[in-house]
Amino acid sequence: MMDATKTIINYTHRQAGHCESGATSNLFKFNGLELSEPMAFGIGNGLYFSYIPFLKIQFAPMISFRNLPNTVFKRSTAYLGIESTVVKKIKDPREAMQMLDRNLEKGIPTGCQVGVFQLTFFPPEYRMHYNMHNLVVFGKEGNMYHVSDTVMEFPQLITYEDLLRVRYAKGAFAPQGKMYWINHAIDKPVDLKPAIVLGIKKTVYEMIGIPFPLIGVKGLRWMARDLKKWPRKHGDDKAAFYLGQILRMAEDFGTGGAGFRYIYGAFLKEAGEMFGNHMELLEASDMMGKTANKWRDFTYMGARNCKNRSKPEEDYGTLSEKLLDIAVSEEKVYQKLKKIKF
């Protein structure tokens, strides 16, 4: 260790497609297990969807393309049998910062959930009231913390006061000081196959097995039907605002629509190769990639609509039909995965 005012862990920063799966992958690699981001994302059940129209986030219906914060880290470590610690809530912000400092002094890079609105190193256009972002703190010099945020190309610096502020951002899904880490070095071989099977089965259940109609593919269909009604029910301005919320959640926050499907497709491909070029897994990977392309087409068309650049044939009815088609494509992937005998 360095002196009391300077502690920097030899932690490798890598960019990633999604904040939590990227942080999880990097924490595994630091502790001795080479686990790719798609593998962390797939095993940890990063793929998810919920549409809760009666709950408003930023004055628009609650839409989430990701699981609850910390799910990826918690489930991937549990399924792989890796000892980890998750501190869900710390009432006293000063105590939370002291806990973080103690971890750094012990050489433990530590994941933190934060809000992005006041994250000082984020470009202004990235800052919204979104509290489910993840980063890893790996060093401290005086009043400054060294941070690995996988959205950024390089590690960043943030002051004590600013880090405390984003760790205690207010609003929906407030971080409340949440922090997490892997307890010790992984010095024994880890068999990924059982964890892959558990991860796939859990994702399949959450996307097509949960009976609640607003979760998974059912929720996607519900949102598609509502989308078609928004201009008539709410007027053009509010309909465009609601549509913009879908696009923000699908593309800007949590990676969401196409991005998550590309990552999950990469996970299925890696898993298929690990299982001896398992044909069904490789086919499911290809199907998921094609579904991701459909999501990209939807968000492109939706963005044109929000900016009043759409053609008549790109109205809300067409957007609704595209979402329903995406739901059909996704359900086929999950049904295929459900039938696999490992």
CATH of the domain at 169: 3.90.70.10
**76 located within any domain:** yes
C-alpha closest to that of 179 among 101, 96, 93? 96
- The CA-atom distances, in angstroms, between 324 and each of 93, 179, 188 are 45, 38, 46
The residue segments making up the domain with residue 310 are 193-339
Residue 2: pLDDT band by 50, 70, 90 thresholds? Answer: very low
pLDDT tens per residue across span 173-183: 899 999 999 99
Residue at a domain's end among 182, 212, 245 = 182
Asked if residue 168 and residue 31 are part of one domain, the reply reads yes
Asked if residue 152 and residue 281 are part of one domain, the reply reads no
Q: How many CB atoms lie within 10 A of CB 156?
A: 18
**188 located within any domain:** no
Residue 321: pLDDT band by 50, 70, 90 thresholds? Answer: very high
Asked if residue 329 and residue 208 are part of one domain, the reply reads yes
**207 located within any domain:** yes
Residue 208 CA, distance from chain mean position: 19
Asked if residue 237 and residue 301 are part of one domain, the reply reads yes
pLDDT computed for residue 315 by the predictor: 87
pLDDT tens per residue across span 203-252: 999 999 999 999 999 999 999 999 999 999 999 889 989 998 888 888 76
Asked if residue 203 and residue 261 are part of one domain, the reply reads yes
Q: How many CB atoms lie within 10 A of CB 185?
A: 10
pLDDT computed for residue 1 by the predictor: 38
**88 located within any domain:** yes
**197 located within any domain:** yes
Count of domains in the chain?
2
Which contiguous run of DSSP H or E holds residue 3? none
In the three-class reduction of DSSP (H, G, I as helix; E, B as strand; rest coil), residue 191 is classed as coil
**30 located within any domain:** yes
Asked if residue 204 and residue 77 are part of one domain, the reply reads no
Asked if residue 228 and residue 156 are part of one domain, the reply reads no
Q: Which residue has the higher pLDDT, 41 or 248?
A: 41
Asked if residue 213 and residue 170 are part of one domain, the reply reads no
Residue at a domain's end among 132, 157, 182 = 182
β-strands 47-57, 133-141 pairing? unpaired
pLDDT at 119 over 70: yes
pLDDT tens per residue across span 78-99: 999 999 999 999 999 999 999 9
Q: Token digits for 281? A: 């897994």
How buried is 272 (Cβ within 10 angstroms: 0-12 exposed, 13-18 middle, 19+ buried)? buried
